[in-house]
Amino acid sequence: MGCIQDVEKRPYRSLIVVLSVLLFSLCIPAVQANLTESTDGGELFLSCIQDNECYLTPVASGEEVISDTVFASPAQTDSISFEFAMDPEQIELAMLPTLLKSLVIDLRFTGELSNANKPELEVSLILGSTVSTWNFEAEPLPSTAASSPYTLDDEELNLNGERLLWPGQTVRLRMTFVLDRPGTWELHLRGASSMTLDIPWSEDINARNSDEPSSDLEPRSTEFETIHYGALLENDRDCWSFEVDQHEVLNIYFEWESVPLEIQQSHGLPDLIQPSGRLSSAPDVIVKENDESTRITYRWRALPIGDYIFCIGGTAGKFQPYLWTGQLAFEGMGPTNPTEFDGEAFYPAGSALLGDEDESVSLSQSGFGILFVSFFGIIFFVIDSLRNSTSKLLRMGVFTPGVVLLLVGGIFHPMWALGDEVQTESEIQFDDLIDMRLQQLWDISYPGVPEQVLVTHSGSTWGMLDGDRLQLRLVVEEARPLPDGRWQLIVPELQELRLDQAIFSQVARGGVQTTDEGMLEQQTVQFILLAGRSLLLDLLMLEAMMIVDEKPTSSVFHIDFDMVNAPATGSVSVPAWGTRPTSVSVNDWVLLQRALFPEQISVSLCDCDLDLLDVRFIASTGFDMGDIPPYIDVENASGLIGYSTPVALLGIALCALASRTEYKRRNKAKALATTFFGKDSKWK
């Protein structure tokens, strides 16, 4: 659809429409209609052949300026509209961004009786079934000022969770401006007006869907041990027929290409139909997932020889490319059992540590020893002070300061420190954080949960969404100095955390069901793979952010993070770290993400006789001191003062000195009295 305008059309233009269309088509080079393949990666230009023939094109073309004169007034305003439809139309499936990167509209108006001004403008961007609208108020311009374009930068799109743009769906920009005075308007085009969308992912689904047509009734004939390329589009059934020769083990290796979670197929068990027409029993399944793909091995044993049909089925609204190949093997040749799993999947602790291990210091919680000593000491010295003293200098200059130091360093400070180390009602511990995160991932793994909910929750940091508050109490046994004077904390729970035990414990708590063949349900498989990846990334970020500015005095630390949305990192299929603490700026968070994100993450599940999990990753080699945010709100439990024990001991020493001096003075006075009055005299 072209532009719509309520001003009178110029008669001469109707005579050259055909020539204009021909010229316009020659000006546009042959390009594929993909938002990601425009000249500048998602940039589309506002182009017009004439007033009623406008498009969004991947290159700047068409007329340079469209203008007209209007005779409007405040009592009778003139409304002018343009619509720019993307040409050529979208032919790929694309994932839309959440933000419009930029929009520039160079619209100018000069009144006959007034200076240039910017009229009221409404802009709507239509992407598929969604509409995002922005309004610009009218703005008068000083006589000396040049008219500037209407601009938008990083504006949120109103997608309502509909982030997928399917082939043939609408991409259209509509603009309407209102004039309330006579004058001339000009719309500058051919590069002056444009919009930019950063498309994170797109795919030509028709080109990838190479194994079609096929179905249960018309399977594609193939050789079993060759590589097959294709894509599962919506609820299609892709089927192949092949011959199986003598074997002991039949393996089918499937590799699903990484796509956004919104369109990822379910990866349910395939159907392997035997020559007799019966469905084969459930296979052993080993699933290995990383950022690039999900690799699944299906393994059957001792199947009969003959012609087989192999089928996979999809889900409506989903799309995912794949490749698969088969292998006939004998026991002892190749991977025919889960021996590569060692049965234990530990978190790879130390992956984000930068501190000097040789200069580390041990930490401990505040003890009661100095408190007890100080408590009984103060009782003794107070009782001793009840005796009369003739030396005010001794009492006020030595004894009293000693009592004050003893109270502050030995009584008040330990009590304050012990109180600061106590867990508050709003705080959780490390184990609680793990359990809450796993329960969250379990809940969103259920079938029917909207894909956007799955992406938002799984991609959040520590499971904290925008507006959530993380209050965590950690007990740390060791701190290592960093080159910049700060200290990195070593969390003991990370050193000994078994991801497989934590994840399978959640599976047990969830009351997991199995199929008739004893296989895990697909929802459970999805949860295990998702939880392995999400937990690893959560703990990696937690380990990297355990930084304090001062040398710790206690092993207890309090984390209090108010979380807000942040640009996510990782793959478009499984985003990570999509929320950040408010104490860390956006730029610092993005820098930390890019430096910390692993080179490769691999999560493998053996759905066999004994369910096994293996989580591995290759750590980033670029993470260093420059990537750590300058301020992280991690507080060490502390007392009133530093060096409390020396202060308390100094107080004890001063009190003991005063008491000893008083004791000597009294004995000397008694000895002098005895000399004058004899031993039998009684003195009060």
Same domain, 72 and 124: yes
Residues 141 and 34 in one domain: yes
User: 81 phi and psi, to 5 degrees?
Assistant: -125, 145
* Residue 301, number of CB atoms within 10 A of its CB: 13
In a domain, 533, yes or no: yes
Residue 602 included in any domain? yes
Any domain includes 4: no
Q: What is the pLDDT of residue 664?
A: 66
- pLDDT (mean) for 266-276: 91
Is residue 19's pLDDT more than 80?
Answer: no
Q: Does residue 348 lie within any of the structural domains? A: no
Quick check: 48 pLDDT over 60?
yes
pLDDT of residue 110: 85
Residue 360 belongs to some domain of the structure: no
Q: What are phi and psi of 510, to 5 degrees?
A: -75, 0
**Do 558 and 443 belong to one domain?**
yes
Amino acid at 360: S
- pLDDT at position 18 is 33
Q: Which domain holds residue 159?
A: 11-202
Task: Please check whether residue 683 lies inside any domain of the structure.
Answer: no
Instruction: Kindly state whether residues 465 and 541 are assigned to the same domain.
Output: yes
451 shares its domain with 541: yes
Residue 402 — pLDDT band, cuts 50, 70, 90?
low
Query: What pLDDT is stored for residue 24 in this prediction?
Result: 38
**Taking the alpha carbons of 460, 463, 468, 472 in that order, is the dihedral positive or negative?**
negative
pLDDT confidence of residue 9: 36
pLDDT band, residue 189 (cuts 50/70/90): very high
Return the pLDDT at 205: 84
Q: What is the CATH number of the domain that holds 315?
A: 2.60.120.380
Percent above pLDDT 90 for the chain? 29
Whole-angstrom CA distances from 574 to 265, 388, 436, 458, 607 are 14, 79, 20, 8, 22
Is residue 21 located within the same domain as residue 169?
A: yes
- The larger pLDDT score, comparing residue 274 to residue 36, is at 274
Average pLDDT over residues 407-420: 61
Residue 427, pLDDT above cutoff 80: yes
In a domain, 5, yes or no: no
Does residue 623 sit in the same domain as residue 673? no
Tally of structural domains, the chain? 4
| Helix, strand, coil in percent for the chain, rounding step 5 | 25, 30, 40
pLDDT in tens, 490-536: 988 888 888 988 998 898 887 765 555 555 677 788 888 889 889 99
Binning pLDDT at 50, 70 and 90, where does residue 366 land? low
- The model's pLDDT over 108-127, given as tens digits with 9 standing for 90+, comes to 888 776 667 788 999 999 99
Distance CA 550, CA 558 (A): 14
- 237 and 325 share a domain? yes
Whole-number Å distance between alpha carbons of 603 and 533: 7
Q: Position 483: which residue type?
A: P
391: tokens are 């030396």
Given the DSSP bridges, would you call strands 53-57 and 78-86 parallel, antiparallel or unpaired? Answer: parallel
Q: Are both 543 and 445 inside the same structural domain?
A: yes
Q: Looking at the domain assignment, is residue 84 inside a domain?
A: yes
For residue 483, the number of C-alpha atoms closer than 13 Å in the C-beta half-sphere is 6
Mean pLDDT of the chain: 80
Residues 509 and 531 in one domain: yes
Which tokens sit at 129?
């079934």
Positive/negative CA dihedral, 543, 544, 549, 550: positive
Q: Does residue 27 or residue 507 have the better pLDDT? A: 507
pLDDT given for residue 509 in this prediction: 85
pLDDT category, 36, cuts 50, 70, 90?
A: low
237 and 192, same domain (yes or no): no
Residue 445: closest CA among 462, 433, 457: 457
Q: Is the pLDDT of residue 462 over 90?
A: yes
Count CB neighbours of 142 within 10 A. 9
pLDDT category at 22 given cuts 50, 70, 90 is: very low
**Interatomic CA distance for residues 249 and 328, integer angstroms:** 6
Q: What pLDDT was estimated at residue 411?
A: 64
Comparing 25-34, 278-287, 302-311, 661-670, the range with the smallest average pLDDT is 25-34
- Looking at the fold, whether 551 and 607 belong to one and the same domain comes out as yes
Whether 62 contacts 47, CB under 8 Å = yes
